[in-house]
Amino acid sequence: MKRCCVDRLACIELPSLPLQLLLQDQPEWKGFPCAVVDQDKPNGELLWVNEKARRLGILPGMRYGSALGLSSELRAAEMPAHRIEDAVQKLVEALQKFSPYIEPCAEEPGVFWIDASGLLHLYESLDVWGSAVRKALSAIGYVSIMSVGFTRFGTYAIAKASRYKKEGAVVFADPSQELAATRRVPLLRIGLTPKTLTLLNKLAVRTVEDFLKLPAAGIKRRFGDHAHRLHQLGTGDLWAPLQPAPPPDPHERVLDLDDEEKDSEKLLFLVKRLLDPLLLRLLSKGQALLEVTCVFEQEHGETLTELIRPAEPTLDAAMLMGLVRLRLESMKVHPGVTRLVMKALGVRATVEQLRLFVEKPKRDLKAANRAIARVRAAFGNDVVVRARLENGHLPEARFSYEAMTEVPEAQPRVVPRRSLVRYFKPTPLLLPPRPAREPDGWLVRGISHGPVSRSVGPYVLSGGWWRKEVERDYYFVELKSGSLCWVYYDKRRRRWFMQGKVA
Amino acid sequence: MYAPLWCKTNYSFLEGASHPEELVEEAHRLGLRSLAITDRDGLYGIVRAHVKAKELGIHLIIGAEVSVGEPINPKTQKETPCTKVILLAQNRAGYSELCKLLTVGRRRSHKGVSRVLWPEVCAHSEGVIALWVGEGDAKRSAGLPEMKAVFGDRLYAMLPRHLLAEEQDREAHVRAHAAMHRVPLVACNEVLYHTRARRPLQDVLTCIRHGTTLSTAGRVLRGNSEYDLKNPHLVNALFRDDEAALARTLEIAERCTFSMDEIRYRYPSERLPDGKTTTEWLRDLTMDGARKRYGGEIPDDTLAQLNKELDLIEYLDYGGYFLTMWDIVQTCHAKNILCQGRGSAANSAVCFCLGITAVDPVRMGLLFERFLSKERAEPPDIDLDIEHDRREEVIQHMYTKYGRNHAAMVANVIRYRSRSAIRDVGKALGLRETDLDRVTKLLSHYHDDDVAGVLEQSGMDVKASVYSQLSDLSTEILDFPRHLSIHPGGFLLGHEPVSTLVPIENATMENRTVIQWDKDDVEALGLFKVDLLGLGALSHLHRCFDLLSKHRGVELSSATVPDGDTKTYDMICRGDTVGVFQIESRAQMAMLPRLLPRTYYDIVIQVSIVRPGPITGGMVHPYLRRRSGEEEVDYPHECLIPVLKKTLGIPLFQEQVMKLAVVAADYTPGEADQLRRDMAAWRRSGRMEGHRERLIARMKAKGIAEEFAERVFKQICGFGEYGFPESHAASFALISYVGSYLKCHYPEVFTCGLLNSLPMGFYAASTLVEDAKRHRVEVRPIDIAMSEWDCTLEGRAIRMGARYVKGLQDIEWKRVADARSASRFVSVEDITIRAGINERSLVALAESGAFAPLQPSRRNALWESKGLAASPAVPMPVETESVPAFQLMSDAESIHWDYQRTGHSTHGHPLGPLRAQLRRQNLPDAKTLYGLRDGQYVHYAGLVICRQRPGTASGVTFMTLEDETGFVNVVLWKDTFEKNSIIAKTQSFLGVSGKLQVQDGVIHLVADKLWRPDTQLTPTIQSRDFH
């Protein structure tokens, strides 16, 4: 087996990572047999199962429905791919504290190769280093197994085949030792597909050694590329360099202040000191700034994090500083800032010249977007919203607000009949009780509008019994002043409310 | 006062939230005189509503809500928008038109949907009142002008008022168009439930129908709870401003005079020869048949019985039905298909002489009145068993002969049981499906358990509102119709087109059409049903007779099998009946050495006695004791002697139970018949409690012991689900005897025929093969050079067929067989090139050992097959590659491969190679166990071939374990099973420790402990598990 261009290579495995994530999400399931399923259906396939489930005969590959026949206590849920990806990303970041070069396995979530070269200068031994890595992972809630050797395939196979122990790693002193151990590894540990494994088992090929004796071309023809690749890796015919995950984004600048700074004007200048080199760096990469995160670390460890997003990717420092100024003006910086961190996110810049040929629309969307960006900068990112129609019965359930990041092209459509109600109160206004006898009338908008002179209704809306039952009788009421109101009687709360007004 | 004209029951599948009976009852309670049932595109619930309305004296208006719109593309099956029109039948002609229109809409659409066009609505307007809904675009008056031209004064425009704001606009639109076309308005609210309390259920049903959840359904749900059947005072208040519109509901009700009682059904007349009448032709055929049956001379008692039956058939005008059945039997004979009548038809001598049934009721002393009586005047019900793999031929013959207009299959309404209820309601509530599945796994297969209890048992917090809603709604939805399925074999035939009686729609199965009523509806209206049922045992016998003729030159049929064969009865008495129809189960085989059948009637009893009715009624042991002379035969009352004499004073048959109710509890024949109906649905209806008091009180009054009366009642309940009438048992016993005879005298023929008829019966192929080997039949393995698709006989040996290779399709095997017929194969490569079969088939054959003549090592054959299959499909030799040296296969491995790929092994039993090892552990084989004494504590290890947990056994689980020498029956008491449930459910090779129970040569091992045997190899076998 050939080495992987590094002197020392380690492989760390987090057994059944998706299941570990599931148990982090559902800690109350810990005492039960648990499984991750590919879909939330009775015929969903079990992908990973815990030890308790295994002891009950519940194995990966079974259908959830069949597995339930073995234990009615089985708990199962899906683990979305994005959740696994996020976890892998976080694990890479955690591992990067122990080595700059980390390669997550593309085919198996929870397997990582780490360049362990030169670490003996920092750690007493590789075993100690391994313990430190595993301890760090354990601190963030993961169980792991680690092997340190010389080859990608060897470390992987050993990590997969090793039994869990509390501390340390399996460390090989020389390549021959690793090779001998690798050959003894049962085949079912090395990530072959279940179909391939079944067939090889039928052929009485059960260890890595047996597998490596088979002809490579025969493997490729019968079992496909994946098995062939593993075979080649095992025999050393395939050499693959370590492909580490990129290090953290470098578009970051930090400024430590000797004295705390409370003055926003001074802070603005400090921001400028950091922003300019960030913009230069983006420019050198052919990028423009998409957003910038300003972290103001205060005394006593408190931090204020502000995300500034221009209307479009830009390198215009003046415009950006304008947005930062607006945000700083609305901030209360107390106690003072002791450390300032700025992280820029860039995107590839567009070709400005192309815009010259675009016909200018009547509505200046760019100007609108710039204005919105300023509003966002001044009042926060969630303040600019727009209404979206929803499919509910209750007036407040017929629309919702969503954040608006940019103004879209207007696409007006014909409304067959305009709604009678022009002023809608999302939070209905509590009205005085309607007197049983109304000598002076029912005043819903104060004395100035006079009492209710006429009402039309009721129009009944009820439902939501599965959550919180609602029962409302709606009326249109006409006041003596001639104005029309939309009111309802909430039967559950026994109160009258005003929901809106008619124009 | 008003008449609700737009009411949908729960037969508007997944929309209406009340049973038809509930709506009728509520209408009666509210003092309404008329009520229209208008289910969506169908008349599914109309018979039930009619029966209830008749009982309560309510005027039921028959109608339907019809979906009008562009037909749905059958390829995309994407639903198109539609509008609705309510059509009400004024008279019989209108009812026919409505049925025909619904048939048109249903037949052109896929299952569950219907669409008709406005011109079609207009074309079926005779005798129909139309209510125009006025949905859709406010500017358009969809269908109104066209309908006005045809319907004239039978057209009304509807004003629904459910207190929704949007109805204001719609009403204005309807009023405007109605005024424009001079159409009168009628007040008409949509009714979806009889009480507002059903609103949550209606919301849930809507979610199920649209595949959504309550929290995301939005406006798919109705906006309020105003869709109930309203009090007349409320409706008066609602339409205070338009009393004329409300008054028109009564006017319409008066105009609709049609009642379901007006349906006059005429059975289709058969073609009659020489100007004969139906009666004459039936009499001629019966007498001809009788002469053939009795060898030329009809015995006097039979002749008298035939005349009596024929007179009654003529009086009731049922001759045509018997001629149809005769015709079907003749068709089966002509096509060489075995068939045999079952059920109460076996009580009829006419059926026997016409060849419909095979049991002579006169010789058997069976009661004709059970089949047909003047007093009941119900249509006869003849169930015809047909070879299961050829039944479709007979069904298609029926369609061809009568045409799709005159013949359609009866529906089977699939209803919510607790499992489906929890699944669907839970999904609508937004619960995780995996959690719901965990709950449903705890529910019984057959009975509707206490849902709340099961939820608690599965670890759910029943106090949480979502789970209490799940519990309440799942209970409420029980017995609601979910969708329509097809009855296993029930046909409705009519002289007039069936579509004028009831709408017809497409079934899911290709080339099948189904009516909108189930068998109970058909029965309630007194219509004739022809039941064509598939029976595997008949296919088995047919194959045996063909093999006998081909290989032994023996021409045999069910009728010519020698009667009373001693050797056959000896074999039956030993319980050596693996594979024999009806007497092959573990319980039957254990009972045979105790009952010791020596005559045909003994088999009739044997077939009936191992049934839930007699078992739960505690009738089995008393009968056995009386039969063996251990207990004196006595009768609870002398009036019961004629009823119970044949069965030694113990009621074993359904007829006896009914007769008992008549004689001992003074039931009238009508009451007895009601008892039979209530028995059939006792778990669901709860109507048996009324019978209980009546039966027991009256029996006690007659001087019959209360204990006996209680026992009879228990048995009646048991019969309700799985009881056999004597006539039915007699028909089945005949097949059992013929099968036994073949097994006894021609075991290789019997097994070969059975292996080719699977899946059927109780046992898997491996057990049948092992049983054949124990009967000294040589069974040869699947062989690429020798095997056919089916198993074949090679002299007295059986050659296993390629049909047993899992993963091999018959079309692939045909390629192999065709290539082989040209010249024999010389190598695996040769097969690949010449037959061109796919990789899956090639691998399957290699693993099954079929390539043994070409490549003795199965591992090499497998390696080679995988390599060849992956080569380019060019008919030239592939490049040579070195073949790795694979491990040689041991006997145990060979057998294991056989079981994995073919489900059996001709090389040996999986425990054979392990026997020496097991012996060293002091584990005896099954044969040795039979020599041990009663009460001895033993340890045994065998393969589980069957697990059974009958509902009648109070939680006891039975297992049949097998080794190379035979079977061992294991009994697990409930607590033993619970303690060892994982191993009991999962372990194929099982160790059992317990006490032996030996009685009359039958042994049972009562398990005390289950364990995993410690052997080098762990053999596995597919067990057949039953509930």
Q: Higher confidence at residue A260 or residue B950?
A: A260
**Is B792 within 8 Å of B752 (Cβ atoms)?**
yes
**Is B409 within 8 Å of B513 (Cβ atoms)?**
yes
B180: closest CA of chain A, how far (Å): 22
- State the pLDDT at residue B251: 96
Predicted confidence (pLDDT) at residue B313 exceeds the cutoff of 80: yes
Q: Which two tokens stand for residue B503?
A: 């709408």
Nearest CA among B4, B91, B97, B115 for reference residue B49: B4
CB within 8 Å: B862 and A458: no
- Please confirm whether the linkage preceding A458 is cis (ω < 30° from 0): yes
| Largest separation between any pair of C-alpha atoms in chain A | 103
Q: What is the mean pLDDT of residues B72-84?
A: 76
CB within 8 Å: B164 and A459: yes
Strands A75-78 and A385-389: unpaired
CATH homologous superfamily of domain B915-1026?
Nucleic acid-binding proteins (2.40.50.140)
Predicted confidence (pLDDT) at residue B550 exceeds the cutoff of 90: yes
User: Which CATH class, in words, describes the domain spanning B20-194+229-262?
Assistant: alpha beta
- State the pLDDT at residue B777: 95
CB within 8 Å: B867 and A221: yes
- State the pLDDT at residue A443: 85
- State the pLDDT at residue B437: 83
Predicted confidence (pLDDT) at residue B658 exceeds the cutoff of 60: yes
Q: Which two tokens stand for residue A191?
A: 């990530």
pLDDT category of residue A462 using cuts at 50, 70 and 90: very high
Which residues in B lie closer than 8 A to residue A37 (C-beta atoms)? 434
Predicted confidence (pLDDT) at residue A359 exceeds the cutoff of 50: no
CB within 8 Å: A459 and B165: yes
CA A385 to chain centre: 22
A331: closest CA of chain B, how far (Å): 39
Distances (CA, A) of A480 to A422, A442, A454, B33, B606: 19, 10, 9, 46, 91
- Nearest chain A residue (CA) to B857: A203
Q: What is the mean pLDDT of chain B?
A: 88
Neighbours of B1019 (CB within 10 A): 19
Q: What is the mean pLDDT of residues B838-856?
A: 92
Please name the residues between 219 and 278 in chain A that touch chain B, using a CB distance below 8 Å: 221-222
- State the pLDDT at residue A354: 35
Radius of gyration of chain A (CA): 33
Please report which helix (H) or strand (E) contains residue B675, including its range: helix B669-680
Instruction: Provide CATH code, domain B763-902.
Output: 1.10.150
- Nearest chain B residue (CA) to A224: B870
**Is B218 within 8 Å of B253 (Cβ atoms)?**
no
Nearest CA among B150, B152, B129 for reference residue B251: B129
Mutate to test the interface with A, among B438, B893, B978, B1010 (most CBs of A within 10 A): B438
Which residues in B lie closer than 8 A to residue A64 (C-beta atoms)? 434, 437
Predicted confidence (pLDDT) at residue B210 exceeds the cutoff of 80: yes
Q: What is the mean pLDDT of residues B334-341?
A: 92
A47-50: long-range contacts at Cβ-Cβ below 8 A with a sequence spacing of 24 or more?
A: A47/A18, A48/A16, A48/A18, A48/A19, A49/A16, A49/A19, A50/A16, A50/A19, A50/A23
- State the pLDDT at residue A358: 41
Q: What angle do CA A84, A90, A94 make, to 5 degrees?
A: 140
Q: Quote ipTM for the complex.
A: 0.73
Which residues in B lie closer than 8 A to residue A56 (C-beta atoms)? 982
- State the pLDDT at residue A356: 37
CB within 8 Å: A40 and B466: no
Nearest CA among B39, B409, B32, B59 for reference residue B261: B59
CB within 8 Å: B859 and A56: no
- Nearest chain B residue (CA) to A66: B441
- Nearest chain B residue (CA) to A219: B867
pLDDT category of residue B669 using cuts at 50, 70 and 90: low
Q: What is the mean pLDDT of residues B589-602?
A: 91
For chain B, give every domain's residue range: 20-194+229-262, 273-412+486-535, 413-483, 614-706+716-721, 763-902, 915-1026
CA B792 to chain centre: 32
Which residues in A lie closer than 8 A to residue B867 (C-beta atoms)? 218, 221-222
pLDDT digits (tens, 9 = 90+) for B257-278: 999 988 876 766 666 777 788 8
All domains of chain A, ordered by start, with CATH? Answer: 1-32+74-248 (3.30.70.270), 249-409 (3.30.1490.100), 421-502 (no CATH)
- State the pLDDT at residue B21: 96
Q: Higher confidence at residue B567 or residue B723?
A: B567
- State the pLDDT at residue B970: 92
Find the helix packing angle between B726-745 and B536-547, rounded to 10°: 30
The answer to whether A456 faces chain B, any CB pair under 8 Å, is: no
Quick one: DSSP state of residue B264?
Answer: -
Distances (CA, A) of B175 to B118, B168, B932: 21, 11, 91
- State the pLDDT at residue A464: 92
- State the pLDDT at residue B761: 87
B893: closest CA of chain A, how far (Å): 10
User: Which CATH class, in words, describes the domain spanning B413-483?
Assistant: mainly alpha
- Please confirm whether the linkage preceding B614 is cis (ω < 30° from 0): no
Predicted confidence (pLDDT) at residue B28 exceeds the cutoff of 70: yes
Instruction: Provide CATH code, domain B273-412+486-535.
Output: 3.30.1900.20
- State the pLDDT at residue A4: 47
- Nearest chain B residue (CA) to A34: B434
Percent of chain B having pLDDT more than 70?
93
Please name the residues between 188 and 207 in chain A that touch chain B, using a CB distance below 8 Å: 199, 202-205
Give the DSSP per-residue string, B277-342: -HHHHHHHHHHHHHHHHTTT---HHHHHHHHHHHHHHHHHT-HHHHHHHHHHHHHHHHTT--EEEE
Q: Give the global pTM.
A: 0.75
Distances (CA, A) of B654 to A108, B442, B599, B685: 64, 33, 21, 20
Quick one: DSSP state of residue B501?
Answer: T
Which residues in A lie closer than 8 A to residue B458 (C-beta atoms)? 72
- Nearest chain B residue (CA) to A417: B169
Task: List residues bridging with B794 in a β-sheet.
Answer: B797
- State the pLDDT at residue A471: 95
Q: In this complex, how many residue pairs, one in chain A and one in chain B, have their CB atoms less than 8 Å apart? A: 118
Nearest CA among B159, B132, B182, B131 for reference residue B246: B159
Distances (CA, A) of B14 to A216, B7, B411: 59, 14, 17
Q: Which two tokens stand for residue B701?
A: 């009054």
pLDDT digits (tens, 9 = 90+) for A491-503: 999 999 999 988 6
CB within 8 Å: B224 and A70: no
B1009 vs B902: CA distance, rounded Å: 32
- State the pLDDT at residue B686: 61
Neighbours of B1017 (CB within 10 A): 15
B712 vs B650: CA distance, rounded Å: 10
A454: closest CA of chain B, how far (Å): 17
CB within 8 Å: B881 and A215: yes
SS3 readout for B127-194: CEEEEECCCCCCCCCCCHHHHHHHHHHHEEEEECCCCCCCHHHHHHHHHHHHHHHCCCEEECCCECEC
pLDDT category of residue B665 using cuts at 50, 70 and 90: confident
pLDDT category of residue B18 using cuts at 50, 70 and 90: very high
Q: Fill in the amino acid letter for B998.
A: V
Q: Fill in the amino acid letter for B300.
A: D
Alpha helices by DSSP H, A262-412: 264-284, 317-329, 365-379
Residues 6+ apart with CB under 8 A from B87: B38, B63, B64, B66, B98, B101, B121, B128, B129, B130, B131
pLDDT digits (tens, 9 = 90+) for B233-266: 999 999 999 999 999 999 999 999 999 988 876 7
Expressed in angstroms, the distance from the first to the final Cα of chain B is: 54
- State the pLDDT at residue B5: 96
A402 vs B169: CA distance, rounded Å: 31
Q: What is the mean pLDDT of residues B583-592?
A: 87
- State the pLDDT at residue A6: 56
Nearest CA among B181, B138, B136 for reference residue B157: B181
Expressed in angstroms, the distance from the first to the final Cα of chain A is: 82
pLDDT digits (tens, 9 = 90+) for B151-203: 999 999 999 999 998 888 889 989 999 999 999 999 999 999 999 999 999 99
B63 vs B8: CA distance, rounded Å: 10
Please name the residues between 46 and 75 in chain A that touch chain B, using a CB distance below 8 Å: 56-57, 64-65, 68-75
Please name the residues between 406 and 445 in chain B that touch chain A, using a CB distance below 8 Å: 429, 432-434, 436-438, 441-442
Predicted confidence (pLDDT) at residue B683 exceeds the cutoff of 60: no
Please name the residues between 869 and 928 in chain B that touch chain A, using a CB distance below 8 Å: 870-871, 881-882, 884, 886-887, 897
Please name the residues between 113 and 142 in chain B that touch chain A, using a CB distance below 8 Å: 138
**Is B433 within 8 Å of A41 (Cβ atoms)?**
yes
Quick one: DSSP state of residue A158?
Answer: H
Give the DSSP per-residue string, A64-99: HHHHHHH-TT-EEEE--HHHHHHHHHHHHHHHTTT-
Please name the residues between 853 and 872 in chain B that touch chain A, using a CB distance below 8 Å: 859, 862-863, 866-867, 870-871
A214: closest CA of chain B, how far (Å): 7
